[in-house]
Amino acid sequence: MELIENTTCFGGKNAVYRHRSDACGCDMTFGIYLPPQAETTSVPVLWYLSGLTCTHENAMSKAGLQQYAAKRGLALVFPDTSPRGEDVADDEAYDLGQGAGFYVNATQRPWAPHFRMYDYVTRELYALVCGAFPVTEKQGITGHSMGGHGALTLAIQNPEQFRSVSAFAPITNPTKSDWGRKQLAAYIGTDETMWRDYDASRLLRSKGWQQDILVDQGGEDQFLDLLRPQELVEAAKDVSVPLSYRAHSGYNHSYYFVASFAEEHVNWHADRLRGPAA
């Protein structure tokens, strides 16, 4: 790994690294925050997956998660949202290609050689983080929008890795949404039976979830029709999974919304990964 940036933040260290990814076939960048507790002991991890057009940097700078992670002794990992580089396929649209990996393993050209964000996050980067930093196997995952979709689908499919999951305004039913059908058709192909593993509402019905789930949604979110949160609510009811779904009047889809509830999400994960605060 190449260290790009290392700064002190709330008594811990905020760092950015670049490394060669075998999964994505290109250089990848990620951010990590190690709280002050990590200087003397290994700590649990909360993964944060970002949304469309974002890099690792957006949440590191705008979500304000570090101050709360420092108090509760959680490391934070901020992956990028897609592979990048001159030889990596792209599209003129903001919601396809670089910056829009959707946390899937692409099987269709021109995306298949690089767009393997599912394997990158759950296999390659997970192993790298566990091997290179003072962290434990107690890990949770959250994310915003496209990243909320990623957090839910990755957790439901990998309960042995992620012990807690939450989301901010997630895309919950992409097989029925324009934020999903376009991308899944491009990355996975037109056979819709192959899309099921990347739809949180369908996965929850078929696989369930061993713990509870927290989802926050802005009541004035301009993309509410694309996110389809009610589908996840209904799926959780159908399989008796405890889902705390909170709609907040006045909030939209921005990082102002994420930052407003960041402390509650960090504490929620910390309670499940470390135990309730004293």
Domains plus CATH for the chain? 2-274 (3.40.50.1820)
Is it the case that residue 83 has pLDDT exceeding 70? yes
Catalytic residue among 82, 221, 265, 269: 221
In the sheet with 164-168, reading across from the earlier edge strand, the strands are 2-9, 12-21, 26-34, 75-79, 43-49, 135-143, 164-168, 213-218, 243-248
**Residue 278: per-residue pLDDT:** 61
Phi, psi of 246 (to 5 degrees): -120, 120
Residues 178-205 have pLDDT tens digits of: 999 999 999 999 999 999 999 999 999 9
145 classed as catalytic: yes
Q: Are strands 243-248 and 213-218 parallel, antiparallel or unpaired?
A: parallel
**Residue 8: per-residue pLDDT:** 98
152 contacts: CB under 8 Å, gap ≥ 6: 165, 167, 170, 172, 200, 203, 204, 213, 232
User: d(Cα 199, Cα 107) in Å, to the nearest integer?
Assistant: 17
Residues 207-233 have pLDDT tens digits of: 999 999 999 999 999 999 999 999 999
Catalytic residue among 56, 114, 144, 253: 253
CB 103, CB 155: distance < 8 Å: no
Chain position carrying tokens 């807690």: 164
Spell out where the chain has E strands. Answer: 2-9, 12-21, 26-34, 43-49, 75-79, 135-143, 164-168, 213-218, 243-248
Catalytic residue among 145, 166, 177, 201: 145
CB 233, CB 204: distance < 8 Å: no
User: d(Cα 163, Cα 179) in Å, to the nearest integer?
Assistant: 27
Confidence of residue 267 (pLDDT cuts 50, 70, 90): very high
Burial class (CB in 10 A: 0-12, 13-18, 19+), 235: buried
User: d(Cα 277, Cα 170) in Å, to the nearest integer?
Assistant: 27
253 classed as catalytic: yes
Q: Which two tokens stand for residue 122?
A: 């759950």
137 contacts: CB under 8 Å, gap ≥ 6: 130
**Residue 82: per-residue pLDDT:** 98
Percent above pLDDT 70 for the chain:
100
Q: What is the mean pLDDT of residues 154-172?
A: 98
- For the full predicted model, state whether its pTM sits above 0.95: yes
